[in-house]
Structures are given as C-alpha cells and as structure tokens.
Structure 1
C-alpha cells in the first residue's frame, strides 16, 4: 500500500486484493512488487510458540502508510481523499484479524 499510496493509485478497486493479503498472507504481485507471502497473525503466533516462547500476543503496529497518504494531500482529516477510504478499510481489516 505504501507504493500505491504515494503513486496515487490506491483506490477501492484494490480492496478485494488487500483483503486477500490480510486473510491469507499471499500476495500475487499484481501491482509491481514480487509474488510473496507475509505472515498472518496466526502464523506469527504459531512460529513464536513453536520456538518455545510462551503467552504470545500479537499486536499490529502502524507502519509508513499514513505518511504516504499525507504526501497525497490528506493532511488535515477534514476532507476525504479517495485513497483514504481504501487504506482505512485495509487497516481496519488488519486490526480485526489481529484481535
């Protein structure tokens, strides 16, 4: 999302793809980055427990996407940049998966 946020191409059409990445961790490379897999919250928790860590809790941490959207002009929160809605939906999805 950082790339699409700064290039001005983050919009509602990416919603289904973002939801797939959040749910499965699988990214198909459709917007330029290579095909890859990112850990889901459950995978991260399982790997940490398998390594012997106990009482593992996974928390989402804000990354660099908000500044990318700020660069596109959504600085005040008083107006809705079209990209803001797509990003907010993605962040909400990540947060709900990590709960």
Structure 2
C-alpha cells in the first residue's frame, strides 16, 4: 500500500475502510478519486445499496472484519455518535487503530455538544419548555434519549473528542469544525423564507468557516466535528 495522500497510476491504490458508511455517500467520492474502499455498516439495506459503489459488508465498528494493519486510512464518520457508552466508543477507536497500518490515518466525526442549542434557536423552537428540557439534558450529559425526532446519540465537546482519539493510541490528533460558525444562520434563513439560502449567504458562511478554522475556541460553534490522528509507526 502507498503512503501517498492520493493514488496515481504508478502506485498501488491506497486502501481505506469506511466504518458505519451507510449507503456509500462518502465512499462514492473516494472511489471516484481512485481509492479502494471497504465499507462496513450494521444495516443490511445500507450494505445492499453501498455494494453498487464499493466492496460492502455487514459489520460492527466494535469488531471489524479485517486483519491488523490492513488499511492506509480508517474513517468513522458515524459510529461515535451512535455509541453513547464511552466504553463502546473506545472499543470502536481501538479497532480502527488495529486495522490501520503503522503511520496510517484515522478520521472520526462527531456531533458537536452545542449543535442542538444553535439549531433549535435558529429554528425558533427553543422557547418551549419541552425543547429547553431536552437541550438542557444534552448540554449536561452529551446524550440524547432518541424519543423524538432523532436516534439515541452522543454529542461531543471538541476537547473530549481529541482525548478519546489520544486514549486509543493515536498521535498528532487534530480536531476541525466542519460547517463553521455561521451554519445555524443558514438554517434560520431557510426556515424563515422557506427557500434555500442565497448564494451570497452560502459564500459568506463558507468564508466564515475558513476564517474560523485556525481558532480552536470556535470549534464549539460548529454542528459537526472531525478529528484526525495517526497510528504509531
């Protein structure tokens, strides 16, 4: 396997696994860019659809069907927020570290602890006692009970996500915000007007995301977080 960031015609194609990859929405663009992708997902209908995109199989993030050091890159862009038990998250990250080659990259996504606060304020829902109670519980515990509107889930703080990757043995861990600090303004605009945000609004939100990228204190303003780290060589 190559250690290059992007494969080319003279090298062995870089191998990656998309753990919890759903129907292949992320795998599709990786395959298009020339990567070999093995997708793992616990939902049979997801695996069936993803099979049209890449190699796909049923499996669990906590027990991956691959040998040690198989992949150049392991991505977990869903499993961590579906695992409210910290022991399960640690197991999933330990499995990612096991199947990635020495020096390989692990990327893990999380929902930001404060995302629901920003979202429901933007959607003008936060004035109700029921919503305030729900958001208060998420802020306090990081856990959503899944009773209304969304599945049982865990919401990370940025520093907490970094610690979980480091505790799994990953080095050089960095955390990035995905949407930037203006994402909830786009939601508010769409909700108020009933249409997609204007091109200028989207361009401004993207500019805000890029400007905020170098300031870790602004991670908390994002809806999602992405942490990356490398396995020990």
Normalising by structure 1, we get a TM-score of: 0.47
**Greater percentage in helix:** 1
Structure with a larger share of its residues in strand: 2
